[in-house]
């Protein structure tokens, strides 16, 4: 025989009706968040396979959103024993248990039918707007609901793609001719990696990477070594095949005709004909073009690095967002890597395989022991100095064999940042050079960014190239935010 439960008071019944109805306060707030992201939706869609109704379905997708009451859907079970329901404890215990079971059953059925289901609590919707915005942005990127998306050429290990995704731009694919980048790219960005030389790409192939009707964003950072200040004295550098890759990117723009373009490189490229030719091509194609020399600390990047960022659009004027940090707010080495586990030279952390360091020679151990943060080999005794540095002609090369300073941004991270003798890459206080993880974090890769498969033995040299050649991830975020702002402005003007 089923037990009899006392019916709830009339006031409680009326409250339940309001919660079940559409147009509640939490639904109105959720609607505002969806509108902010320009997501088109249907309220209270009828889904035949379940008991109950989702609050929203995102149009042109299989994404469903439920706005759940913390009490009625059982987030706070302790409320069942509250004074208001003391006389009906058995009823409410049973009722809320049924609600939770129904939610689990409905979600399971919907997932089986190919829907993506997201549930939000009312208290979060009303009191934690930034949390809701972040989650909705993540959902819109994951399901490519934004109406715009990107393809990343010369993607490497995925730094720019990761930044674009963090900013809110879905990335359809990354293209690079280095197959060893595949794992890091796909693992961390959940996007397709295409191992191909950009010079062999057809416009049709790249256009098909974008969803129909999407605003097409094409980003590319052609290898910068031919234009770097470190190769200025190399008279044969224009014969380097990498020199031609910006022309190849320019050709790809002609074939694909994306709506928005971003190109990043070293600032020295501005003095080269290949850059002026690129600008001329874009302007001939009726793009609005802007470029800027970016000092990375101005945008929250803990690295005293300058980069050229170019933006172009077929819609109208486009510019990089204003700097986000003043000098007193610059991110420092201490803030970025100061809490990582201490290591000796040649040691690998048991917790993180990428937190490993290069083994120093006995001579370099003596040298780093006598090195000061921000100093140089000029601080050493004469017998420790390299023969080339003892000559008058070698005294100007003071930017090597040095420690970083804790409370300043780091120097530019190069492909050999793990080596004490190739720059100012000594740890501020430990007697070793930077670990691979430290270099990655100074490039603003997340702490848990994976570069190699578990148990894979990729050389420090190869991982160093992946990290050092990358665009700082946060610069990718800044580029992404600039593009999104531009697209929003274009959409508002077009209304």
Query: pLDDT, tens digit, for every residue of 67-121?
Result: 998 877 877 655 445 555 666 777 777 888 888 899 999 999 999 999 999 999 9
CA neighbor of 479 nearest in space, from 182, 270, 217: 217
Mean pLDDT of the chain: 87
pLDDT in tens, 13-33: 555 555 555 578 999 999 999
141 contacts 116 by C-beta, under 8 angstroms: no
163 contacts 475 by C-beta, under 8 angstroms: yes
Of the pLDDT bands very low, low, confident and very high (cuts 50, 70, 90), residue 345 is: very high
Q: Which of 16-30, 128-142, 460-474 has the lowest mean pLDDT?
A: 16-30
432 contacts 368 by C-beta, under 8 angstroms: yes
466 vs 474: CA distance, rounded Å: 16
164 contacts 480 by C-beta, under 8 angstroms: yes
Of the pLDDT bands very low, low, confident and very high (cuts 50, 70, 90), residue 236 is: low
pLDDT in tens, 388-398: 655 554 455 55
The mean pLDDT of 209-234, rounded to a whole number, is 74
User: Does pLDDT of 4 surpass 70?
Assistant: no
The mean pLDDT of 169-177, rounded to a whole number, is 96
Beta strands in 69-191 (DSSP E): 116-121, 148-153, 171-176
3-class secondary-structure state, position 25 = helix
Report the CATH fold assignment for 146-330+475-494: Rossmann fold (3.40.50)
Tokens found for residue 398: 């003071």
Q: 127-139 burial by CB neighbour count: b if 16+ within 10 A, else e? A: eeeeebeeebbeb
H or E element at residue 15: helix 10-20
Partners of 226 in the beta sheet? none
Q: For 24, list phi and psi in degrees, rounded to 5.
A: -70, 170
In the prediction, which pLDDT does 227 show?
Answer: 43
What is the distance in angstroms between the CA of the first residue and the CA of the last residue of the chain?
A: 64
H or E element at residue 475: helix 473-494
In the prediction, which pLDDT does 78 show?
Answer: 53
Which residue among 67, 181, 224, 296 is the active-site one? Answer: 224
266 contacts 239 by C-beta, under 8 angstroms: no
3-class secondary-structure state, position 303 = strand
Largest Cα–Cα distance in the chain?
101
139 contacts 63 by C-beta, under 8 angstroms: yes
Of the pLDDT bands very low, low, confident and very high (cuts 50, 70, 90), residue 2 is: very low
CA neighbor of 194 nearest in space, from 216, 167, 205: 205
**In the chain, domain spans:** 10-138, 146-330+475-494
In the prediction, which pLDDT does 423 show?
Answer: 83
Q: Which of 139-143, 222-226, 252-256 has the lowest mean pLDDT?
A: 222-226
317 vs 166: CA distance, rounded Å: 24
Tokens found for residue 422: 């190739």
pLDDT in tens, 300-330: 999 999 999 999 999 999 999 999 999 999 9
The mean pLDDT of 339-361, rounded to a whole number, is 95
87 contacts 35 by C-beta, under 8 angstroms: no
Which residues have CB under 8 Å from 119's CB, separation 6+? 65, 66, 68, 103, 107
User: Does pLDDT of 1 surpass 50?
Assistant: no
Given the DSSP bridges, would you call strands 260-265 and 306-313 parallel, antiparallel or unpaired?
A: antiparallel
310 vs 263: CA distance, rounded Å: 5
In the prediction, which pLDDT does 95 show?
Answer: 80
Q: Which residue has the higher pLDDT, 397 or 52?
A: 52
The mean pLDDT of 469-489, rounded to a whole number, is 96
CA neighbor of 165 nearest in space, from 147, 131, 141, 185: 141
Q: Which residue has the higher pLDDT, 396 or 1?
A: 396
In the prediction, which pLDDT does 452 show?
Answer: 92
Judged on CB neighbours under 10 Å (0-12, 13-18, 19+), 149 is buried
User: Does pLDDT of 338 surpass 90?
Assistant: yes
- 224 is an active site residue: yes
Domain 10-138 -> CATH class: alpha beta
In the prediction, which pLDDT does 432 show?
Answer: 96
420 vs 402: CA distance, rounded Å: 7
The mean pLDDT of 110-133, rounded to a whole number, is 94
CA neighbor of 157 nearest in space, from 465, 415, 441, 417: 465
Angle at 186 (CA atoms; ends 134, 258), nearest 5 degrees: 75
């Amino acid at each position: 025989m089923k037990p009899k439960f006392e019916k709830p008071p009339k006031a409680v019944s009326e409250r339940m009706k309001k919660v079940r109805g559409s147009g509640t306060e939490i639904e109105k707030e959720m609607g505002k968040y969806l509108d902010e992201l320009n997501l088109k939706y249907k309220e209270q869609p009828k889904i035949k396979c379940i008991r109950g109704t989702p609050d929203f379905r995102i149009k042109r997708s299989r994404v469903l959103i439920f706005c759940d009451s913390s009490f009625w859907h059982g987030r706070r079970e302790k409320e069942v024993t509250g004074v208001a329901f003391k006389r009906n404890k058995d009823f409410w215990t049973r009722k809320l248990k049924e609600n939770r079971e129904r939610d689990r059953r409905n979600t399971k059925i919907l997932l089986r039918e190919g829907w993506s289901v997201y549930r939000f609590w009312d208290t979060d919707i009303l009191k934690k707007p930034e949390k809701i915005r972040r989650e909705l942005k993540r959902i819109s990127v994951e399901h490519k609901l934004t109406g715009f998306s990107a393809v990343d050429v010369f993607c490497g290990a995925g730094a720019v793609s990761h930044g674009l995704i963090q900013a809110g731009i879905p990335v359809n694919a990354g293209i690079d001719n280095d197959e060893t980048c595949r794992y890091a790219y796909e693992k961390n960005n959940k996007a397709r990696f295409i191992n191909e030389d950009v010079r062999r790409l057809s416009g049709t192939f790249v256009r098909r990477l974008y969803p129909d009707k999407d605003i097409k964003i094409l980003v590319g950072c052609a290898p910068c070594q031919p234009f770097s200040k470190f190769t200025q004295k190399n008279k044969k550098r224009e014969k380097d095949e990498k020199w031609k890759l910006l022309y190849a990117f320019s050709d790809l723009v002609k074939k694909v005709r994306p709506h928005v373009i971003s190109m990043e490189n070293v600032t020295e490229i501005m003095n080269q004909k290949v850059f002026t030719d690129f600008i001329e091509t874009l302007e001939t194609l009726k793009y609005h073009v802007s470029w800027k020399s970016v000092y990375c600390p101005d945008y929250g990047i803990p690295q005293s690095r300058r980069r050229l960022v170019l933006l172009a659009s077929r819609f109208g004027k486009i510019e990089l967002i204003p700097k986000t940090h003043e000098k007193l707010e610059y991110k420092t080495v201490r803030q970025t890597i100061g809490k990582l586990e201490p290591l000796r030279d040649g040691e690998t952390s048991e917790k993180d395989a990428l937190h490993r360091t290069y083994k120093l020679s006995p001579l370099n151990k003596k040298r780093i022991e006598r090195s000061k943060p921000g100093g140089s080999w000029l601080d050493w005794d004469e017998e420790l100095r390299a023969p080339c540095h003892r000559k008058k002609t070698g005294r100007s090369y003071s930017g090597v064999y040095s420690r970083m300073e804790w409370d300043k941004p780091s120097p530019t991270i190069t492909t050999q940042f793990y080596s004490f003798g190739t720059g100012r890459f000594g740890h501020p206080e430990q007697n070793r050079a930077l670990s691979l993880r430290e270099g990655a974090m100074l490039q603003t890769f997340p702490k848990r960014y994976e570069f190699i498969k578990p148990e894979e033995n990729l050389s420090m040299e190869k991982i160093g190239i992946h990290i050092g050649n990358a665009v700082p991830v946060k610069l990718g975020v800044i580029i992404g935010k600039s593009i999104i702002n531009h697209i929003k402005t274009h959409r508002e003007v077009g209304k």
